[in-house]
Amino acid sequence: MFKLDPHEAEVLRAYESGALNPGAGKAELARMRAAARVTAVKDKRVNIRLSALDLLDIQARALEEGMPYQTLIASVLHKYVTGKLSEGKPAATGAKRRTTSRSS
């Protein structure tokens, strides 16, 4: 048996006593499941070319978010086409962005 930290022990006590209450009702859960089904359907493949630096930044961000980088790209594109992507200041990925200049 392993030892629980104080927070884990508190959560376990609350669970066992029935004090934990789900945040969503049946209607909300059904709505979430339907949205997940529609969002999760991936029936087309797309190939794109990205700069090496952009790909490295995407992979770093995906690692921070705990997801595969392809999933992150698909999520960003989905948010864009549904109007849910708001433009803002880019977040740092931990490494400074390098820029390259090309000679003409």
48-61 tens-digit pLDDT:
999 999 999 999 99
Closest CA to 73 of 94, 54, 93, 92: 54
Question: According to the model, what pLDDT value does residue 96 have?
Answer: 53
Count the neighbouring beta carbons within 10 Å of the beta carbon of residue 57: 19
Please tell me the distance from the alpha carbon of residue 60 to that of residue 81, in angstroms, as a whole number. 23
9-56 tens-digit pLDDT:
898 888 889 888 777 778 888 887 887 777 677 778 899 999 999 999
Closest CA to 50 of 17, 73, 82, 24: 73
What is the domain partition of the chain in residue ranges? 46-83
Please tell me the distance from the alpha carbon of residue 44 to that of residue 64, in angstroms, as a whole number. 27
